[in-house]
Amino acid sequence: MIGEILGLIVIGLIVGALGRLFHPGRDPIGLLMTIGIGIAASLIVGLLIPGHGVLSFIVAVAVAVGVVALVSATMGGGRRRMLLRR
């Protein structure tokens, strides 16, 4: 069980990077948050879908892309938006 969770975390690092790569445009979120999103997506998909094949990896990347898009839309433009208001 511990080995499975550690494996999902390592895969999550890759999933987070790919999630950010496949999300078009600039993201106002940092790299650590993107990696955290990838780890969370990997853990969720790994625990919900039995087996750890290519399908699980693809679904985890798709979930990570969706969450990165959601978080970046929620956070808005961040610093750039504040500079444009002045």
What is the pLDDT, as a whole number, of residue 82? 44
pLDDT tier, 76 (very low <50, low <70, confident <90, very high otherwise): low
Q: How far apart are the first and last CA of the chain?
A: 53
Written as one string, the DSSP assignment of 35-73 is: HHHHHHHHHHHHHHSSS-SHHHHHHHHHHHHHHHHHHHH
Does this model's pTM top 0.85? no
For the segment 4-58, what is each residue's pLDDT rounded down to a tens digit?
778 767 777 888 788 777 877 776 777 778 778 888 888 788 788 877 688 888 8
Kindly state the DSSP code that residue 23 receives in the 8-state scheme: S
The Cα–Cα gap between 29 and 20 comes to 10
Cβ–Cβ < 8 Å for 52, 10: no
Kindly state the DSSP code that residue 76 receives in the 8-state scheme: T
